[in-house]
Amino acid sequence: MIDRATVEKIKETADIVEVVSDYVHLTRRGANFMGLCPFHNERTPSFSVNKSKNFCYCFSCHKGGSPVNFIMEKEGISYHDALLQLAKKYGIKVEEKELTDEERREQTRREGMYLANEWAMQEMQKNLTESQEGRDVGLQYLYSRGVTQEAIKAFRLGYAIDSYTSLSEAARKRGFDLDVLRELGLLGMSQQGRIYDRFKGRVIFPILNSSGKPIAFGGRDLKGGPAKYINSPESELYHKSNELYGIYQARQMMVRENRCYLVEGYLDVIGMWQCGLQNAVASSGTALTDGQIALIHRFTPNVTLIYDGDAAGIKAALRGIDMLLSHGLNVKVLLLPDGDDPDSFARKHTAEDFRDYIEKNQSDIIRFKVKVLTADAGDDPQKRVAVVNSVVESLAHIPDKVSRDVYIKECSTMLRVGEEAIGEAVRQRRVSLTEETKRRQQYEQRQATSSDQMPQMPDAPSPEQPTGENTAAQTGKSQTFFGIETYPLMPLEKKIIEYCVRYGYMDFCEVCDDDDNKVTISVVEYVCDELECDGLKFTVPGFAKIFNILLDMLPAFREAADAKLGAIREESRKMRDDGIGEIASKGLTIREIEKEEKALEERISELERKEYEEFTKTYSSIRLTSHEDDEVRRIATRAVRERHQLSHIYSRERPADREEDKLMDYLPRAITELKNGVLDQQMQAVMREFREICGKGMTERETELQQKLATIMRIRSQIAKDIGERIVCPTKRR
């Protein structure tokens, strides 16, 4: 367990922009940052990062939250492990006891898989450098390929002992579940039902995800077997279509140089890394996928494909062109001299020489495609038509219209076909692609949101729903319709809890206490008073949980607010002293000095107000979106997210349209609408009972129900009037 003080320190230290930047290439857009979502494949940025709120959110797949929540979602790890990862990133010391075998078995399945892969990687690293077999076989092979000790350490290379049971026996002794290692592909089972090590006798290339966790392994045979390389199978951790070898080692340099070099093999990446081109990644010989391209695009839009200069290299370079272009990437291609691959070429040249060669010999991908295809087609008309159609297909995948038009004009000249003909063909194909893309995105969005959406109830129950005295609205319990648990007042309560999460501790209004002294109360205190005066509570358990947490955090907030005010005043004092000194140095008249000092005080007051307002506005949301309770985090994340998707030009809200500026109208109205919803439920219950007993001679009960109904109608009428008008805050605290 981590003590609470350390947890709070981690949350306060973790900066959402820094955390997200490890996974996403961010671009500043006004007050926020934007980037491609790391949780799903997309081609236009919909992932927003708000530094002031320390919060991120994707408008397409609806994932995000605080730094803690982001790490949990991205890495698929627990709240506890996310805190540990952030603590490590920011150098915060955490006292943790080592897990016992029993505790390790109690870890979740996914965490257990990560632990097993990490352990196996470390075992095979030790085999390479500490065992006689590893040094004589594995290490000698790597040295013969020019791999240095520095690269061996950076890429965590290893060796699997040439034994059927070496790894499995070691895993059994450490208490690992062998079934988990089988699922990860580290172990296999023979036809006779015997466990064996799949990678035995191979040099091991761990495949790390973008955060450095081992998710799979590649093994290079050294004995001339039928399979030169074998890789881990697909698993819960490893989806090869979404991963690239070397992405962890390359990501920082990809961002710094704003370019990615894409090659095919493990040793190509390592060779270029040793040469000094440390922004190279590999598709490991497989055809490029949307997931892999999206992974590159998160760090840079500029890609250079580097392949051998033979026929296989040319074929590989032409593979996946359309997908690369459709993601809006700027794609170049470089064919190396015959007989060279990226690894051998890198070992012959310095980084400067290699970069210089790339700049002089790389070609635009469209020009490269036209050149290669026209050379193959010769003067055959049918082949030339096929070339034009293939080029049109690629041009239609370019999302930017200006770029398309430039390429259309250039391809018209290269292909000796009319510009209008190519342009019309591209436009027609573009329309078809756009429709296909829209349908696919709509389907993906429905799939992403269908399982993660809170149930939405109609404003009033249907006639088939029970409306008696013990309905959910009256008892606070849920009902079940068609097997789905629902809460009739959820839509009305949702509005109020959103305001509480977003602005819980902001000053809301002044009220009079029992001694008629004016006191300022916060949003959450106002909601508490309003609900208590009518005996109301939140009926949705998750909302009630969040509201109680907010009330429990009030003392901590007041203490933090006092400390913040002290820090703000100290900062203002320094600013005032500096300002007065600057004014005094100008040699102004007394009237000018007074004017300057007045302007200085106004600036300081405004800065104090804004800084304190920002602190109170974000205090509740920052803590709730990083709360240890999964349900609290999920609801808080939805409440804090922006209401509408940003437009393509990322227009900012005007100050007059800020929700917090209109909270004096919105919050009382939301509470009044909730009370009206409760009265609706009560009225329907009365009407239901009245219909059941009408004509049965129960005149006394009928009269009682009529009076109750008249009272409800009178109150509803007043509430309806309040809703139609502007609601004013109370002047007396109840």
pLDDT of residue 135: 93
Choose between 663 and 720: higher pLDDT: 663
Q: Is 703 helix (H, G, I), strand (E, B) or coil?
A: helix
600-627 pLDDT, tens per residue?
Answer: 999 999 998 888 888 888 888 888 888 8
DSSP for 360-384, please give it.
Answer: HH-EEHHHHHHHHHHHHHTT-HHHH
DSSP for 319-356, please give it.
Answer: TTHHHHHHTT-EEEEEEPPTT--HHHHHHHS-HHHHHH
On the question of pLDDT at 306 being above 80, the answer is: yes
Please tell me the distance from the alpha carbon of residue 385 to that of residue 401, in angstroms, as a whole number: 24
302-307 β-sheet, strand order: 280-282, 260-263, 302-307, 330-335, 363-364
On the question of pLDDT at 460 being above 50, the answer is: no
pLDDT of residue 354: 92
Q: Determine phi and psi for 480, rounding to 5 degrees.
A: -120, 120
Model confidence at 168, pLDDT cuts 50, 70, 90, reads very high
* Per-chain mean pLDDT for the chain: 81
By C-alpha distance, which of 582, 667, 684, 638 is closest to 69?
638
pLDDT of residue 129: 92
Q: Which of the residue ranges 129-138, 581-590, 640-649 would you say has the lowest mean pLDDT?
A: 640-649
Residue 227 C-alpha from the chain's centroid: 38
On the question of pLDDT at 255 being above 90, the answer is: no
pLDDT of residue 486: 52
- The CATH architecture of the domain made up of 104-238 is Alpha-Beta Complex (3.90)
215-254 pLDDT, tens per residue?
Answer: 999 999 988 777 888 999 998 889 888 899 999 999 888 8
On the question of pLDDT at 454 being above 70, the answer is: no
Read off the pTM: 0.59
Please tell me the distance from the alpha carbon of residue 634 to that of residue 440, in angstroms, as a whole number: 27
State the span(s) of the chain assigned CATH 3.90.980.10. Answer: 104-238
Choose between 227 and 199: higher pLDDT: 199
pLDDT of residue 133: 93
pLDDT of residue 678: 84
Beta strand 64-65 with 55-58 is antiparallel
What's the average model confidence in pLDDT over 146-161? 94
Query: How many other CB atoms sit within 10 Å of the CB of residue 220?
Result: 21
Tell me yes or no: is domain 247-434 CATH 2.60.40.1180. no
State the span(s) of the chain assigned CATH 3.90.580.10. Answer: 4-89
Model confidence at 666, pLDDT cuts 50, 70, 90, reads confident
Query: How many other CB atoms sit within 10 Å of the CB of residue 177?
Result: 16
Length of the chain (residues): 734
Q: Which of the residue ranges 126-140, 221-235, 542-556, 690-704 would you say has the lowest mean pLDDT?
A: 690-704
pLDDT of residue 471: 38
668-699 pLDDT, tens per residue?
Answer: 888 888 888 888 888 888 788 777 777 666 67
pLDDT of residue 657: 55
Q: Look at domain 4-89 and name its CATH class.
A: alpha beta
* Helix (H) or strand (E) segment spanning residue 40: none
54-67 pLDDT, tens per residue?
Answer: 888 888 887 888 89
Which residues, other chains included, contact 634 with Cβ-Cβ below 8 Å and sequence gap of 6+?
none
Q: Is 690 helix (H, G, I), strand (E, B) or coil?
A: helix
pLDDT of residue 27: 86
Please tell me the distance from the alpha carbon of residue 441 to that of residue 61, in angstroms, as a whole number: 11
What's the average model confidence in pLDDT over 415-434? 88
Q: Spell out the alpha helix ranges (H) of 22-157.
A: 67-75, 79-89, 101-106, 109-130, 132-133, 140-144, 149-154
Which residues, other chains included, contact 98 with Cβ-Cβ below 8 Å and sequence gap of 6+?
none
